[in-house]
Structure 1
Amino acid sequence: MNWKSYVSFSLLFGLSFGSFAQSTVLKSHHSPSGFQNPNPSFQKKGFWNVLVWQWDRFFLPYSLDAKSYPDFPVVKNDGKELKSNASKLSVTWVGHATTLVQIDGINVLTDPIWSERCSPLSFVGPKRYTPPGIAIRDLPKIDVIILSHNHYDHTDLPTLKQLEEKFHPLVLTGLGNKKLLLNEGMQNVKEMDWWEEWKLGSLQFTFTPTQHFSGRGIFDRDETLWGSFVISGKQETVYFAGDTGYYSHFKEIASRFPNIDVAILPIGATEPRWLMKPVHVDPKEAVRSFSDLKAKFLVPMHYMTFVLSDEPLDSPVPRTKEAMKESGISESALVPLKIGESRFF
């Protein structure tokens, strides 16, 4: 593994030095040093696991170079229809975990990243291979930004600075992230614990559990809280998962929010499973999560933008369709947006 791979992967995923360490079972997700997953079988992965993974990548039977694949579909979105939408529920996929959710006339961005790399360094780290589906200058006024956790591909400071300068939005995020954001110029930041609520106009934002972890460097593992969001409007409800492994939290969310219309769920960054399974659902688990949530529509994300893992780059959507077929779920419930595409519900 060369030094560029070391920097990009160790810092991007916040993997700490050390071997496997099973999390301590506590009644709360708070811990003396920060936070933890409620799943008693959750296992952290250490630096040695990253080395093994990088070695294994040399022997993959296929290429992870985006140039080896046909062009992925990108829809040019000039933002005009979005700017004129004052009432309809819509979801626009910008790329990776970045979506624009319009609900009750309020514009919400999820985990925004417009940068060329998701990395602490501008010249090294996973590079974007599909452009953002809409330019920042063409966005409607952004009222709220929700940040699921502080990994570089979900909390991108250069993008947040641009959005702050143009829109001055409210930023909702997990406990422990406010200091970083204020230091980078964000003006209106609200930290939230799991199941905490925040209201804006007709909307209620609820920060909900996920199975994941946090960290922007080697020594800050799990010091800030990760999570997902339920956005409840007058008539419709949207769930944004961020990053997550599969666990019982999906059923718990559904028990508290029984009428979810749209679930925005990750289907990429899934292989190898021995490394990714604790923190990233694969397509089959995403469909299982969708079933647990009892949502009406599944909008997939977290693929086709950055190469973060080992599955073939064009595999997530076909695998999701197959999983839905196996589960007896109508394919009409799947809304695999092209990057830049908007769907009005």
Structure 2
Amino acid sequence: MFFSLNLVKSVSLNLFLVIFVLSCFADASVRKSHHTPSGFKNPNPNFETKGFWNVINWQIQRLQLPYSVDPADYPDFPLVKNDGSQLQSNQSQLSVTWVGHATTLIQMDGVNILTDPIWSERCSPVSFIGPKRYTPPGIKIEDLPKIDLVILSHNHYDHTDLPTLKQLEEKFHPLVLTGLGNKKLLLDEGIQNVQEMDWWEESKMKELKITFTPTQHFSGRGLLDRDKTLWGSYLISGKKEKVYFGGDTGYYTHFQEIANQLGPVDIAILPIGATEPRWLMEPVHVDPKQAVRAFGDLKAKYLVPMHYMTFVLSDEALDSPVPRTKEELKRSGFEESQFVPLKIGESRFF
């Protein structure tokens, strides 16, 4: 009896240890690699950004630029007056309208989608200081068609603009998709219909499937919340076409992975500005050469550029992103017709 009791205890203990160890391995297998105890991280294991003193050094170096980054020193930037009438009557045709910066209106299979909407004069936590808009939004909010969906790439002030989001909530009450950790910020501002997403998760709206996909960037709205919320991009799959919105991103293999997993893209809306100096910006912002490389990785038919000609956020000449992108496309063997640089306010129907 004594032997049997000890045997039972021994077997029970060993069984407990086996279950415990297996549970640890099971937990490790489901924990996603971009989730860490301190926040989220990029797919690139070698990713790192410059620290505070590098940013101070950059601000000093800016004083010695051989050209101006003051919009007042440039000719008027091309704008199109868009009263929204064509957009309001469009019920089925695929279209992209550039509002400015990373804000585009995508119309797809009867769904109206805004990307990273910002109508504010400044991209800043306060209204009296910070980067100021030097070109007006390409269409007024009151002239927009009914907005069904808003997609937010990350929580930086030039991509998650709370004053604009509150206006859109009041007028349209759209579904807002955003990365993990951002829901509370939006709910606290009265934005009610919010869905958080992790990379590769899907959401549905009518006939559309919207997939939140990886980018190489970072998040934060203050000094203490670095990488506490998730950043990303979106692939919108419709009945026939696919549209990719890149948000903010450095270059890495995630573009190839998106095409491999979700298929070739019809329209790639990619950033081409906020690129200089490269020693500072390269980890988080593709330059025109890298944007073209990403375009190829996505196996896309058309490249619609964005993230330029709205706010002065970096050191490249304000009129340089489009010519540089055009040169890189030609050098890479793409057709000129595949490049669709829109004027602010311009709509292109595909």
Aligned mates of 1:227, 1:285 — CA distance in 2 = 17
Q: Within the alignment, does 1:90 sit opposite 2:95 as a pair?
A: yes
Q: Within the alignment, does 1:34 sit opposite 2:39 as a pair?
A: yes
Question: For 1:286, what is the secondary structure of its paired residue?
Answer: helix
Equivalent position to 1:329, from 302, 322, 334: 334
| Alignment-derived partner of residue 346 in structure 2 | 341
Q: Within the alignment, does 1:67 sit opposite 2:72 as a pair?
A: yes
Sequence identity (%):
78
Aligned mates of 2:45, 2:57 — CA distance in 1 = 25
Give the TM-score normalised by structure 1. Answer: 0.92
Aligned mates of 2:36, 2:82 — CA distance in 1 = 44
Q: Within the alignment, does 1:274 sit opposite 2:253 as a pair?
A: no
Question: Bigger shift: 27-36 or 169-178?
Answer: 27-36
Aligned mates of 2:115, 2:346 — CA distance in 1 = 15
Question: For 1:150, what is the secondary structure of its paired residue?
Answer: coil
Aligned mates of 1:60, 1:83 — CA distance in 2 = 44
Amino acid at match of 1:146: I
Amino acid at match of 1:330: E
Aligned mates of 1:253, 1:45 — CA distance in 2 = 27
Structure 1's consecutive aligned runs of 4 or more residues displaced over 2 angstroms after TM superposition are none
Amino acid at match of 2:154: H
Equivalent position to 1:195, from 196, 200, 206: 200
Q: CA-to-partner distance for each residue in 1:195-237, whole Å, 9 max, x for gaps?
A: 0000111000000000000000111100000000000001111
Unpaired segments of 5 or more residues in structure 2?
1-30
**Aligned residue-pair number:** 320
| Alignment-derived partner of residue 140 in structure 1 | 145
Q: Within the alignment, does 1:186 sit opposite 2:191 as a pair?
A: yes
Q: CA-to-partner distance for each residue in 1:152-174, whole Å, 9 max, x for gaps?
A: 00000000000000000000000
- The aligned runs of 1:10-25 (5 Å cut-off) are none
Q: Within the alignment, does 1:217 sit opposite 2:222 as a pair?
A: yes
Q: CA-to-partner distance for each residue in 1:78-125, whole Å, 9 max, x for gaps?
A: 000000000000000000000000000000000000000000010000
Aligned mates of 1:332, 1:278 — CA distance in 2 = 30
Aligned mates of 1:84, 1:235 — CA distance in 2 = 21
- The aligned runs of 1:104-253 (5 Å cut-off) are 104-253=109-258
Unpaired segments of 5 or more residues in structure 1?
1-25
Give the TM-score normalised by structure 2. Answer: 0.91
RMSD between aligned residues: 0.8
Aligned mates of 1:27, 1:112 — CA distance in 2 = 29
The structure where helix makes up a greater share of residues is: 2
Q: Within the alignment, does 1:263 sit opposite 2:274 as a pair?
A: no
| Alignment-derived partner of residue 304 in structure 1 | 309
Question: For 1:44, what is the secondary structure of its paired residue?
Answer: coil
Equivalent position to 1:78, from 74, 80, 83: 83
Q: Is the 8 A contact 2:248 2:284 kept in 1?
A: yes
1:44 Cα offset (Å): 2.2
Question: For 2:304, what is the secondary structure of its paired residue?
Answer: strand
Question: For 2:328, what is the secondary structure of its paired residue?
Answer: helix
Amino acid at match of 2:239: K
Q: Report the structure number with the largest CA radius of gyration.
A: 2
| Alignment-derived partner of residue 57 in structure 2 | 52
Question: Bigger shift: 256-265 or 166-175?
Answer: 256-265
Aligned mates of 1:343, 1:202 — CA distance in 2 = 22
